[in-house]
């Protein structure tokens, strides 16, 4: 749940001073199914089939489940979760389900603060099919907003109770055995470090609602095309399937951690890890830049721009230190 540019203050050890660390967003992908006997969970009822996969070509996490609820009602669930590569402030969660019973089903779209780290809720709201949660950190002026729009077979979502300062909304459906139903959660996220015009709240809400208007199929076409442009580059390895998979997984982690339309440099491990607190080290130029240069030169250009933009400060730092040239910090 990390996002570039969102930092808070936290302790590395209980007795240490607080330092800047990359903060984690609340969980934005929650879209729960409930037939009246409790929300779907792997430790409730009976899981008759379960498969989850990550498609490296499109960045899509898909989950297929056959579930017998505590009430003895069977359902086939399919979740697809994707961050939209073509629309950088947006993400999608699609739930497709087919019940083997007729009755009422409640689908709840929640933004859950339990997974947030170094962020605190700072306000929320709900209007129509869209809800939002404002966030703040201990760093002055660092704010963010998560928003989500819930659409489905019925016209409007209603606000629901959410624990721990989060937000939730839900849709109640009258379902028929054997029929399939689809709901879409469109997510928007914006942080104050973005250079876009407008407040994080306005931008996050606008991104969520624009993604909802676009719809799942159209959004996926755009996002998949953006990923395909990156995967023109590849590393082919013959005779070692495991090494081939590891190479492509590493390329995916690199691609997912930076873009060619924003000036940023990834920390060691990129967004795949909170190691090194999200700080930018010389690792960016030494280890990640060469791979970007060979496979995604537009992203490589942005990594260099990150340093160039900080060059005046680095020259001033060198001068204050009695040195010539530029002195960059060990981490930034």
pLDDT digits (tens, 9 = 90+) for 9-40: 988 888 888 999 999 899 999 999 999 999 99
Residue 115 Cα distances to 29, 109, 152, 164, angstroms = 11, 16, 26, 11
Question: 193 pLDDT exceeds 90?
Answer: no
Please report the pLDDT score of residue 225 as a whole number: 98
Residues 6+ apart with CB under 8 A from 318: 324, 325, 326, 327
φ, ψ of residue 202 in degrees (nearest 5): -60, -40
The fraction of the chain above a pLDDT of 90, given in percent, is 80
Lowest mean pLDDT among 150-154, 183-187, 309-313: 150-154
111-135 per-position pLDDT tens digit:
999 888 899 999 999 999 999 999 9
Contact predicate 191/146, CB 8 Å:
no
Per-residue model confidence (pLDDT) at position 1: 58
Q: Please report the pLDDT score of residue 159 as a whole number.
A: 84
* Structure token digits, residue 6: 């969102």
274, 257 contact by CB (below 8 A): no
pLDDT of residue 2: 59
Alpha-carbon 306 to chain mean position: 22
Q: Which pLDDT score, from 0 to 100, does residue 13 have?
A: 80
Question: Which residue(s) pair with 259 in the sheet?
Answer: none
Q: What is the pLDDT of residue 154?
A: 79
Size of the chain in residues = 332
Contact 185, 129 (CB under 8 A): no
- With contact defined as beta carbons under 8 Å apart, do 82 and 92 qualify? yes
Supply the Cα-derived Rg of the chain in whole angstroms: 22
Output the pLDDT for position 220: 98
Q: Report in angstroms the alpha-carbon separations of 34 from 19, 244, 263.
A: 42, 40, 43
What's the chain's average pLDDT?
A: 93
Q: Give the range among 143-157, 198-212, 226-240 with minimum mean pLDDT.
A: 143-157
* Mean pLDDT on 322-328: 96
On the question of pLDDT at 176 being above 90, the answer is yes
For range 298-320, the mean pLDDT = 96
How does residue 45 score in pLDDT terms, banded at 50, 70 and 90? very high
Q: Positive or negative CA dihedral for 282, 288, 294, 295?
A: negative
């Amino acid at each position: 749940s990390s996002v570039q540019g969102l930092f808070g203050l936290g302790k590395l050890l209980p007795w240490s001073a607080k330092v800047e660390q990359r903060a984690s967003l609340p969980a934005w992908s929650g879209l729960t199914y409930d037939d009246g006997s409790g929300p779907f969970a792997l430790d409730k009822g009976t899981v008759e089939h379960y498969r989850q996969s990550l498609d490296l070509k499109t960045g899509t996490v898909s989950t297929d489940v056959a579930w017998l609820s505590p009430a003895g009602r069977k359902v086939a669930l399919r979740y697809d979760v994707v961050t939209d590569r073509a629309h950088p402030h947006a993400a999608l969660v699609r739930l497709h389900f087919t019940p083997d019973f007729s009755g009422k089903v409640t689908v709840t779209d929640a933004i859950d603060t339990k997974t947030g780290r170094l962020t605190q809720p700072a306000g929320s709201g709900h209007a129509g099919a869209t809800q939002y949660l404002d966030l703040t950190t201990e760093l002055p002026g660092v704010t963010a907003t998560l928003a989500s729009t819930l659409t489905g077979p019925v016209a409007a979502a209603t606000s629901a109770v959410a624990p721990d300062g989060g937000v939730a909304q839900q849709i109640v459906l009258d379902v028929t055995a054997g029929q399939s139903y689809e709901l879409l959660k469109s997510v928007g996220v914006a942080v104050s470090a973005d250079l876009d015009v407008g407040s994080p709240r306005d931008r996050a809400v606008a991104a969520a609602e624009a993604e909802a208007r676009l719809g799942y199929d159209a959004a996926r076409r755009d996002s998949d095309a953006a990923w395909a442009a990156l995967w023109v580059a590849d590393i082919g390895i013959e005779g070692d399937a495991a090494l081939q998979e590891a190479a492509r997984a590493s390329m995916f982690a690199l691609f997912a951690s930076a873009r060619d339309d924003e000036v940023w440099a990834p920390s060691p491990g990129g967004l795949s890890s909170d190691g090194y607190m999200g700080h930018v080290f010389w690792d960016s130029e030494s280890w990640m830049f060469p791979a970007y240069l060979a496979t995604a030169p537009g992203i490589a250009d942005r990594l260099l721009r990150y340093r160039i933009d900080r060059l005046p400060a680095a020259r001033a730092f060198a001068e204050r230190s009695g040195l010539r040239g530029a002195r960059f910090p060990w981490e930034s």
